Structure 1
Amino acid sequence: MRLGSAWLVVSLWLFSNFHHPQAADILGIFPYCQPSPFQVVRPYLIALRNRGHKITVITPMEMLDEIEGIEQIEVPMLNRRIQDVVDFDLFDDFFINKWSESLMASTIYRNMSLAILQDFSVQRMLSDKNVRFDMVILEPSHMDAIYGFAEFYNATLMGFSSVYTDWYTEFLAGNSAPSVYDPISPIGYSLDNSLMSMFCNWVYITEEILLDRLIYRPSQLSIFKEVFGYSAKKLDDLRSSFSVILINNHFSMGRVRANVPNVIEVGGIHLIEPPKPCDEDLQRFLDEAEYGVIYFSMGVDIMVKYLPLDIQQPLLKSFAQLKQKVIWKNELSTIPNKSDNIYVMSKTPQRRILEHPNVRLFITIGGILSVTEAIDSGVPMLGLPLFFDQIGNMHRVQQAGMAMVLDTNSLSAESLTSTILELIENPKYAARAKNMSQSFRDRPMSPLDTAVWWTEYALRHPDVRHIRLNEDDISFMRYYRLESLLSIGLRFGFIIGLVTLLAYKLVQKCNRKQERVRVFRLIRLPIK
């Protein structure tokens, strides 16, 4: 009996650890200049640490809270380099068109890459022969120079996209089929599905590919060569060596994608963190809202004081006309002309507010985390997107039927009020929001468990050719099955050619007959 019990214990232990890889040394590079992406990164890093992996992360100063058991290399110059390029008083001038935006972005990416690679602590880590890493995890952005860490340490290269997916992320994943969806810059990009818009968007993304080759890549290549001493061919190889890429998205959020096997959707990964509770005053305000509550927030990255008056004033006028109560996340302690139904808070427990049954509408700029939380809670949205991924995020949920979007450049109190009433009083928006919430939550594994499993899959299988689709591995003819189209084209071509030839012969015969008739008439002979 004792031998049998011991064997059962050993069997259970082996079974529970069968897919648990040996503890790995992982380097994470997350140079985000806003706090919101770290809400996604933080639970992921903690989960990897709890699995026994040794984690080292490179971040800007004071962006990621200190986490026990995780070594942090804070790079002060990351905070300064962006300020060197962006004057926030002139911020709108950079978004006139995607060309000026790309020039600014290229300079920012170059400065961020230099800040990381020239940092004293990073240089000391690179020169320490005892330091090794099995995996490098980073944002699949245009900071190609830092891909050199993977080659330097002979480590698996993995992507973690905390915001959204565009054609460049697809390219790094090996899914470089031409697409008219998901540009890098939304400026001037058409959001409807007409044939002309699809053609214009194809041209648009082709231009972005040129921008990558002519602006982004040369800038990063010079740093790559200078710091690591590798060739341009090595950089191309690294761009084609990403294993798994985790993306903060999910098909239930209004956009179905044709993903390749190594692109894994983990939208909602930050929801594993427990939501902050409401204080007594806020809870009472929510509970006593007879006609419901509207929640308005510009997110954690944008302050209300930077909003133009032509946006703030219509909001105040519209809120004053509503019978619903309004919770406004606003860092300003006093708001001129504020109506009595508005409750102002500088910091809000957003998830708790959205979960409350009296909340009828969420007015948002459309950041990916806010959109995710609204979908999870099943709350309809009114979008006021400004830039970056916000436009695409709100467009997708509008197409899905749980939101409406207004242009902030032509905002008025009348349009705001009518749109708010439509979203609140028309039951189809609330019904669609609830359906999307159910679909979003219905998964075989939680987003965090999915992310951890695929991370360890990449550790178990460093050679990822079996889950990648690289252009070099398959010819252009085979990728698009042009040999099949060519065969079909030849058959139709033969038939069309034969029909054309017969028609030509028939016309010739008719012409000869008419010519004979004309000649006989000229010589006045009878036609026999």
Structure 2
Amino acid sequence: MRLEFSWLAVALCVILQQDLCQDSVQAASILGIFSYHFSSHNLVVRPLARALVKRGHNVTLITPVGMPSDIEGVRHIRVPKLNQRVQEMIECDQMMDFFGSKWIAGWLAVTMLYNMSLDILSDEGVQRMLKDKSERFDLVMLEPSALEALYGIVEFYNATLMGFSGGNVNWSTEEVAGNFAPSINDPISSLGYSRGNSLLSKIYNWVHITEEKLLTHLIVRPSQLHIFKKFFGYSEQTFYYMRKRYSVILVNNHFSMGRVRSNVPNIIEVGGLHLTEPPEPCDAKLQRFMDDAEHGVIYFSMGQEILVQFLPEDMQQNLMKSLVQFKQRVVWKTELYSMPNKADNIYVIEQPPQRAVLAHPNTRLFITNGGLLSVMEAVYSGVPILGLPVFFDQFINLRNVNLRGMAEVLDANEMSLEMLTSTIRELLENPKYTLKARKMSQSFRDRPMSPLDTAVWWTEYALRNGDASHMRLKTEDVPLYYQWDWLILLAARFGIVFGSVIYLFYKVFQKTRAGPRPLQDREAAFQHLILLAPRWQAQ
């Protein structure tokens, strides 16, 4: 009897071992390239890198200096020149606001993106890696952005290509994922993008995104192809083939954030990845300030990239004058400790532990510029939002939660004191905002797996399967009007221009032909007078 049980135990172990082997993957060499010097992007990358190292993988990251900070077990290759590109990106966005032209802004953006690709591929550390004959990588993780020259690294190592987007999904990400459906089109830039739901707004947005596609095809991609050929010598066909090599694309997004998408299977939502790490706690002084807030706390922060001293003076004064009118205490993130007219109910701090502040039960309202991670943390904690968007994706982030009923959004450039005060009062006193925020929080948290476990599982899925073409839409399966919509607009625009030029030439030709006739008429009249002259003399 014992022998039978022993054999049963052995058989059970064998079965369990087979199941475990199916879900596991051998230690692999993984290369991640993350070019943006934004703290938000690196907060998302860091937990995934740590988890992959813990799973036994060899992880190498190519990043700007200091972002992310050194991770134990990870080999870091720092590219110093990338650190200055974020400032260029902000200046580019400001130029977009100034010029108001997507075509001029596109020319500025292509220079920045060209420089970023060049910075990475010409860096000494990256070049040493490429020249090391013993170096190999099983998987290369890229941001599915405009830095397409980096596809050459994937081809160089014959590695699996995986996408990892720390920001919002846009039509460009959908395109490399194989999804051409216009219902999920979001712009790369929100400058000039309509936020209305009318038919006219949808047509306007279709034009907006089509212009972005033209900019990408005519300006951005050719410049990246030039770098691709220069550094690797691969053909143009290889370049375009690589765009279809994405196996899995992890996106820092979740449907509960207010934007339901028509995702193809290879787009995996892992929004909240950074929330899997333990939050930094409040210090004793801040904790006491919030604990003793009888009427609650208002938290004000414009994110990590915006310094309060650079905000318009009238905006700062309006915020200060408005917030002192309320009985709630205020936690104010600023680098200015000697703020003028600071009231006793305002706690000034340079680097607040934002997640801990938002998670505090007394926090009633979050005033923010609307960075993706900040909005995500507010949703996670169920805190209503007053949005003051400034640039990049902040307008879209705030619009999404506004449509879900947990936020109000004001134009920071046209915000009056009365408008600001009445909006804050509405958010604090109307319970519908808190109820909506808590409902969104519940939806955001309710998942079968944590965002980190989901990201790790799909990363190893890409390693196990390599070619994941079975998860992509094939071009021949997509209706033609999904792929040719931008061609229709291009033809219409060039048709109007060409027709206008033809019409102009026609008018000029008509005028040219009509010009000699008066002269001919004058000559004929003169000759007629000469003929009549003898008769007048005879008379």
Same topology, TM > 0.5: yes
Compared CA separation, residues 384 and 228, structure 1 to 2 (3 A): same
Deviations, residues 16-71 of structure 1 (Å, cap 9, x unaligned): 33211111111100111122211000001111111111111101111111111111
Shift in alpha-carbon separation, 1:459–1:87, aligned structure 2, 3 A: closer
Check conservation: 1:319, 1:339, Cα contact below 8 A: no
1:474 paired residue number: 477
- Give runs of aligned pairs for residues 197-276 of structure 1, distance below 5 A: 197-276=201-280
Q: Does 1:453 align with 2:440?
A: no
Q: Which residue does 2:507 correspond to in 1?
A: none
Number of aligned positions between the proteins: 477
Shift of 1:479: 7.3
Moved more, 122-131 or 100-109: 100-109
| Number of the residue aligned with 2:118 | 114
The alpha carbon displacement at 1:102 in A equals: 2.0
Aligned partners of 2:237 and 2:454: how far apart in 1? 33
Using the TM superposition, give the Cα deviation of residue 265 of structure 1 relative to its aligned residue in structure 2, in angstroms.
0.6
Residues of 2 paired with 1:411 and 1:62: CA distance?
Answer: 36
Structural mapping, 1:310-329, within 5 Å: 310-329=314-333
Work out the CA distance in 2 between the residues paired with 1:187 and 1:150.
33
1:284 and 2:293 equivalent? no
The alignment status of 1:339 with 2:347, answered yes or no, reads no
Pick one of 91, 94, 97 that aligns with 1:95. Answer: 97
Displacement of 1:321 in angstroms is: 1.1
The answer for the alignment partner of 1:174 in structure 2 is 178
Is the 8 Å Cα contact of residues 179 and 202 (structure 1) preserved in structure 2?
Answer: no
Q: Distance in 2 between matches of 1:35 and 1:409?
A: 25
Q: State the Cα distance separating 1:93 from its structure 2 match.
A: 3.1
Kept in 1: contact 2:180–2:482 (CA 8 A): no
Note the C-alpha offset of 1:182.
Answer: 1.4
Q: 1:194 to 1:86 in 2, by over 3 A?
A: closer
Structure 1 unmatched ranges of 5 or more: 481-528
One-letter amino acid of the structure 2 residue matched with residue 92 of structure 1: Q
**Aligned to 2:81, which of 77, 82, 86?**
77
> Which consecutive residues of structure 2, in runs of 5 or more, have no partner in the other structure?
484-539
Paired letter, 2:128? R
* 1:383 alignment partner in structure 2: 387
Shift of the 21–91 alpha-carbon distance from structure 1 to 2, 3 Å rule, reads closer
1:36 aligns with 2:40: yes
Q: Are the counterparts in 2 of residues 180 and 201 from structure 1 also a CA contact under 8 Å?
A: no
- TM-score w.r.t. the length of structure 2 is 0.85
Name the CA distance, whole Å, in 1 between partners of 2:395 and 2:84. Answer: 28
**Over the residues paired in the alignment, what is the CA RMSD in angstroms?**
1.8
Q: Determine if the alignment matches structure 1 residue 158 to structure 2 residue 158.
A: no
Change (3 A) 1:424 1:242: same
Alpha-carbon deviation of 1:313? 1.1
Which residue number corresponds to residue 486 of structure 2? none
Structure 1 position 349 matched with structure 2 position 353: yes
Distance 1:429 1:181 in 2: 28
Q: Give the match for residue 501 of structure 1.
A: none
1:489 aligned partner: none
Cα shift at 1:10: 4.7
Q: 2:378, 2:86 → 1: CA distance?
A: 31
How far off its partner does 1:86 sit? Answer: 6.0
| Counterpart AA for 1:376 | Y
Are the equivalent residues in 2 in contact too, given 1:81–1:108 (CA < 8 A)? yes
Rounded Cα–Cα distance in structure 2 between residues aligned with 1:475 and 1:382: 40
Contact kept? 2:93, 2:392, Cα under 8 Å: no
Shift in Å at residue 357 of structure 1?
Answer: 1.1
Measure the CA separation in 1 of the matches of 2:9 and 2:261. 49
CA contact (8 A) 1:244 1:262 kept: yes
For 1:241, the aligned partner's letter is: R
Q: How far 1:109 sits from its partner (Å)?
A: 0.9
**Deviation at residue 226 of structure 1 after TM alignment:** 0.3
CA offsets per residue over residues 354-407 of structure 1, 9 Å max, x none? 111111100010001000100000000000000101000000000000000000
Cα drift, residue 8 of structure 1: 4.3
SS of alignment partner, residue 469 of structure 2: coil
Give the AA of the match of 2:423: T
Counterpart AA for 1:95: D
* Contact 1:36-1:301 at 8 Å conserved across structures: no
Q: Deviations over 1:168-212 (max 9, x none)?
A: 000010002234741111111100110000001101111110000
**Change in CA separation of 1:394 and 1:457 when aligned onto 2, cut-off 3 Å:** same
Q: Percent identity?
A: 58
1:403 aligns with 2:407: yes
